[in-house]
Structure 1
Amino acid sequence: MSAGHLLRKKILIGLSGGVDSAVAALLLVKQGFRVIGATMSVYDGPPAPSRGGACYDCGEKEDIASAAILSAMLGIPHHVFDCSASYKAVVLSYFKKTYLAGKTPNPCVRCNHLLKFGLLPSLARECGLDFDFFATGHYARTEFSQHYGRHVLLRGRDPHKDQSYFLYRLNRSQINSALFPLGNMTKKEVRALAAGHGLPMHAKPDSQDFCAGGYAALLNMPDSPGKIVDSDGLELGTHAGFWHFTPGQRKGLGIAAKKPLYVLRVNPARNEVVAGDYEESLQQDCTLEYTRLHVPLETAGHSLAARLRSSQRPVTVTALPGAAASQLSISFAEPQQGVAAGQSLVLYCGDLVVGGGIIR
């Protein structure tokens, strides 16, 4: 691409105040793009000492200030958009409703699809900003596939930082307009580049969760004593509310046992937590609903792998159409632990993100 053509391309980049989006913006500027910074403001909670380390917490003012400082260093405009009402309706309400239904939500998946790649670019255009692509600091890639005749979503090159799991619900339009400047980089390279260019966030810790300080404040539920039982209903202990537990959880059960115990499931109607040993926690198959496929299953090849969690190494699976149009039947080559209703399962064929869905 010629230098003159580059200068005509405008890129809106989501800036979080962290090192990843900062280096992504730096790379785009160095490549000659006309870059515009945009930051979502999502926190509307009470003022409190900054804890940081999360997307939704009381350290947001510092993150916005950090993004503004970076933008000034790079010589690019920076805009802040108030997305707090939408975040509460789209992410927080969904999180609470799903959790209290005894399921395990994926707030980051929902936020990326509906807010970060949806609402944020939309608000930017509504206020008169013109741009050709939307970029973020995610460790993922896109490329044009001759086989499918369109852009496809791929895993990031760094297997330890790949974030394609969180992006599988992006629609075709969002993938077509997405840029991921860090897709071929490792985290170590990103931090080194940030330090070499004197970016003040080069050593800033990564976000560990979407909410700092635990979920109790978001759920806002008073303690409600209940039983922890085994698969036969035998009482093993007590708890202060089923919402303190998630399927697959091993630590924090407060039960002395000969073998480590895992949460098998929760029963909201009975305020009951069912626990069992490792073998009981394994599942051979599951059903996906609300699926989103980027390529047809029959054209993706026979070697499919899946992730149940973002940090999990992909495991071999078989995927077949389910009972309903939006469902898939998934069989694992080896039984898996922690198959939790409400969580996303993402399908891959090599580096290609085939699609995914919500575990029923």
Structure 2
Amino acid sequence: MNVAVGMSGGVDSSVAALLLLKAGHNVSGVLMKIWPGPDAPAAARSACYGPDEAGDIQAARDVCARLGIPLHVIDCSGSYEDLVLRYFREGYLAGTTPNPCVRCNQLVKFGILPDAARRSGLEFDRFATGHYARVEHAAALGRFLLKRAVDIRKDQSYFLYRLSQAQLATVLFPLGELAKSRVRTIAREEGLPVHDRKESQDFYGGDLGDILGRDGREGDIVDRDGRVLGRHRGVAGYTIGQRKGLGIASLVPLYVVGIDAGTNRLVVGPENETFRRACMVLECVWGPYDDLPAPAEVRVKVRSGGRFVPATISPLDGGRTRVDFAEPVASVAPGQSAVFYDGETVVGGGIIETAD
């Protein structure tokens, strides 16, 4: 089988390519170039988007040379700007907290990249990545289901929940059954030059102000009663649940509990005011069915690093869903994704619109 592997220059995609090659497949590497330039040294935090991209490309070239497979570098920087960065900027300026990785996976990494690779003349049957997740075909449903990885600590199904049935039907996740420690061991034993390379910790390693811009629109920081407590440096620099960087002296720690982009105000309060019992979710997508047919009991995550919380999800008109948490949940941020699980299976998810 001909398989194109989305390479990143990291250990995970490199081992994914290695395992597919050992399984007897005809493997080619494809790498999406998303930084428009110029190049620069690495930032303090390793990230998937930044001026040190040339180092990632070279690392991928070294791995592909070691494996004896070709590497095709596809310039996706224009699409990434239009589909991901613009969405990211507009969301923050509107007072929400968008997740760029969720959007990138759906539209660019599993969309633009393989499509562009095919248009360039590369022929392949499946597209693989080094993500920690699994896909199974449910014959009774006639659908492909996204599932959590065996290594729960590295599971990335949250970031992949928006993949369509067409995308899931042709994707391979060779690392879904492996622990991260085993992946590192395989890379070392096979002499891959990236076996000890650090992994990306964020989507951008520098100051987010570089991407969001610095509009200088200062405004008031207020409490629930509207009492002015301080000044902020622009609502785009804050997120729900944030405590650090507020510059407010208080007897108790204060957190961002609301962002009103219309009035250019931040609302802050004590920790107990960060908790919510429900949220409204829009732009929902579903795994086992086209639309949620009836209320269902699930476990939900409202942030990639958040905990699972039991909840009831109920369908509403217009592709929206109400989520009622079984217990209060802190820092439910509009713009982030709420992802629903039934055991190991991703039931669906959507973008948080409001929380109450």
State the TM-score bracket (shorter-chain normalisation).
over 0.9
Please tell me whether residue 31 in structure 1 is matched to residue 31 in structure 2.
no
244-253 or 219-228, which moves further after superposition? 219-228
Distance in 2 separating the partners of 1:157 and 1:47 = 37
Across the aligned residues of Structure 1 and Structure 2, the Cα RMSD in angstroms comes to 1.5
Residue 7 of structure 2 corresponds to which residue in structure 1?
15
Aligned positions, number: 351
Distance in 1 separating the partners of 2:107 and 2:20 = 24
Note the alpha carbon deviations across 1:202-258, whole angstroms, 9 max, x for none. 111111111111210111123232221111111122222121110111222122222
Distance in 2 separating the partners of 1:188 and 1:223 = 45
Cα distance, 1:299 vs. partner? 7.7
1:54 to 28, 47, 50: 47
Within-5 A mapping of 1:93-242: 93-242=86-235
Give the SS at the match of 1:325: helix
Tell me which amino acid in the other structure corresponds to 1:329.
Answer: R
Give the SS at the match of 2:42: coil
Give the SS at the match of 1:204: coil
Distance in 2 separating the partners of 1:136 and 1:236 = 48
Residue 310 of structure 2 corresponds to which residue in structure 1?
316
Tell me which amino acid in the other structure corresponds to 2:131.
Answer: H
Distance in 1 separating the partners of 2:38 and 2:28 = 30
Give the SS at the match of 2:127: strand
Within-5 A mapping of 1:40-79: 40-51=32-43, 53-79=46-72
Residue 285 of structure 2 corresponds to which residue in structure 1?
292
Cα distance, 1:262 vs. partner? 1.1
Distance in 2 separating the partners of 1:301 and 1:162 = 26
Indicate conservation of the 8 Å contact 1:139/1:161, yes or no: yes
Ranges of 4+ aligned residues in structure 1 off by more than 3 Å: 296-303
Distance in 2 separating the partners of 1:310 and 1:222 = 29
Residue 333 of structure 1 corresponds to which residue in structure 2?
326
Cα distance, 1:85 vs. partner? 0.6
Distance in 1 separating the partners of 2:11 and 2:63 = 10
Distance in 1 separating the partners of 2:22 and 2:301 = 35
In the superposition, relative to structure 1, how do residues 69 and 98 fare at CA in structure 2: closer, same or farther (>3 Å)?
same
- Name the TM-score, length of structure 2 as normaliser: 0.95
Indicate conservation of the 8 Å contact 1:160/1:311, yes or no: no
In the superposition, relative to structure 1, how do residues 178 and 277 fare at CA in structure 2: closer, same or farther (>3 Å)?
same
Indicate conservation of the 8 Å contact 1:301/1:349, yes or no: no
Residue 254 of structure 2 corresponds to which residue in structure 1?
261
Give the SS at the match of 1:50: coil
Give the SS at the match of 1:357: strand
Note the alpha carbon deviations across 1:164-199, whole angstroms, 9 max, x for none. 000011000100101000101111111111111111
Please tell me whether residue 306 in structure 1 is matched to residue 264 in structure 2.
no
In the superposition, relative to structure 1, how do residues 46 and 271 fare at CA in structure 2: closer, same or farther (>3 Å)?
farther
Indicate conservation of the 8 Å contact 2:284/2:350, yes or no: yes
Give the SS at the match of 2:312: strand
Cα distance, 1:302 vs. partner? 4.7
Give the SS at the match of 1:200: coil
Residue 283 of structure 1 corresponds to which residue in structure 2?
276
In the superposition, relative to structure 1, how do residues 151 and 300 fare at CA in structure 2: closer, same or farther (>3 Å)?
farther
| Identity over aligned pairs, percent | 48
Residue 6 of structure 1 corresponds to which residue in structure 2?
none
Distance in 2 separating the partners of 1:17 and 1:126 = 23
Unaligned runs of 5+ in 1: 1-8
2:351 to 318, 333, 358: 358
Cα distance, 1:307 vs. partner? 0.7
